[in-house]
Amino acid sequence: MTGLVASIKAVFKLPNDDPRKTLAVALVLCLACSMVVSATAVSLRPLQERKAALALKSEIVEVAGLDSGELDLDEAFAQIETRLVDLDSGAFVEGADPLSYSYRDAAKDPAASTSLSEADPAGLIRRPDRMPVYLVRDAGQLDTIILPIYGAGLWSTMHGLLALAPDGRTVKALTFYEQRETAGLGSEVAGERWLSEWPGKVVLDASGKPVIEVAKGDVDPNAPNAEHRVDGLSGATLTSNGVTNLMRFWLGPQGYGPFLATLSGRERG
């Protein structure tokens, strides 16, 4: 250690125009800057996580239809029942805190997720074994089922929330709150106009198979399968395909399919 300090002192005693001293000064500045950036990132992480949690809570309240302005965010969110679901069985996970659960962290943990290998149309790589669901009740009866969904688009992983009617098949609302698709094209996946086409669409057929599809071009409203199809995003075929793939994955047997199939008649109202 003493020898290292002596070497550093010797370098800094060199003339200012010596390339070795210039390189040493640059290295020291780079090291100092990296330490400052790292310390700032660490100190800001809790604030960023709180802001992200609040933003997600706001999205859930909005897609639940509880953003009338009569209640503040916490009061509105308190009306929503948050549960964890075991995706393989479709059953609620008892004794776990769904509010502290992160499906993003779970997807990175081999002990809490499942490798999808080749059966991965949504581009997830690993699927969390558990996912949160949000339930809205009216006079004790189930009114809305809100499912977090995500999957690969052209440039990014798109994260959204799908709100279904108590039948588990009919869309009430959809939002994509996180995406980095091509501006003016794929980014319209989060646009109000396109999202407004989703309410009333039927995502599953009578047997429970996912049939929802983002079409290539516009949907003929008189076509026999129009209720299962949504207009494509102009100039964004791969983003449109990504939405179809993630929808069908999360509504299928590896996603919320078992959960939706086991919702009791009583729960569905």
- Give 12's pLDDT tier (boundaries 50, 70, 90): low
Q: Is the pLDDT of residue 40 over 80?
A: no
- Give 95's pLDDT tier (boundaries 50, 70, 90): confident
pLDDT in the model for residue 44: 46
Query: Are the C-beta atoms of residues 262 and 168 closer than 8 Å to each other?
Result: no
pLDDT in the model for residue 47: 44
**Concatenated DSSP letters of 78-95:** TTEEEEEEETTT--B-TT
- Give 54's pLDDT tier (boundaries 50, 70, 90): confident
**Concatenated DSSP letters of 162-196:** EEE-TTSSBEEEEEEEE--PPTTTGGGGG-HHHHT
Distance between CA 220 and CA 25 in Å, rounded? 67
pLDDT in the model for residue 9: 63
- Give 269's pLDDT tier (boundaries 50, 70, 90): very low
Find the mean pLDDT for residues 96-118: 93
The distance from CA 182 to its chain's CA centroid, rounded to whole angstroms, is: 18
Q: Is the pLDDT of residue 156 over 80?
A: yes
Q: Which amino acid is at 98?
A: P
* pLDDT tens-digit map of 177-234: 999 999 999 999 999 999 999 999 999 999 999 999 999 999 999 998 999 999 999 9
Give this prediction's pTM: 0.82
Find the mean pLDDT for residues 23-28: 68
More confident residue, 47 or 16: 16
Return the DSSP state at 262: H
Find the mean pLDDT for residues 112-120: 90
More confident residue, 213 or 50: 213
Question: CA-CA distances (angstroms) from residue 117 to 9, 114, 121, 190, 256?
Answer: 55, 9, 10, 29, 19
Query: Are the C-beta atoms of residues 124 and 115 closer than 8 Å to each other?
Result: no
Find the mean pLDDT for residues 224-249: 95
pLDDT in the model for residue 117: 81
Q: What's the whole-number average pLDDT of the chain?
A: 87
Distance between CA 174 and CA 177 in Å, rounded? 10
Strands 213-214 and 229-230: parallel
Question: CA-CA distances (angstroms) from residue 187 to 16, 59, 124, 236?
Answer: 52, 17, 20, 9
* Total Cβ atoms within 10 A of residue 218: 11
pLDDT in the model for residue 6: 62
φ/ψ of residue 249, rounded to 5: -65, -55
pLDDT in the model for residue 188: 96
Window from 44-48, 142-146, 175-179 with minimum mean pLDDT: 44-48
pLDDT in the model for residue 53: 77
Q: Is the pLDDT of residue 45 over 60?
A: no
* pLDDT tens-digit map of 157-168: 999 999 999 999
All residues at 6 or more sequence positions from 123 whose CB lies less than 8 Å from its CB, including other chains: 151, 152, 157, 242, 245
Distance between CA 224 and CA 104 in Å, rounded? 38
Can you list the positions of beta strands (E) in the chain? 80-86, 113-115, 126-128, 130-138, 141-152, 157-164, 171-178, 213-214, 229-230
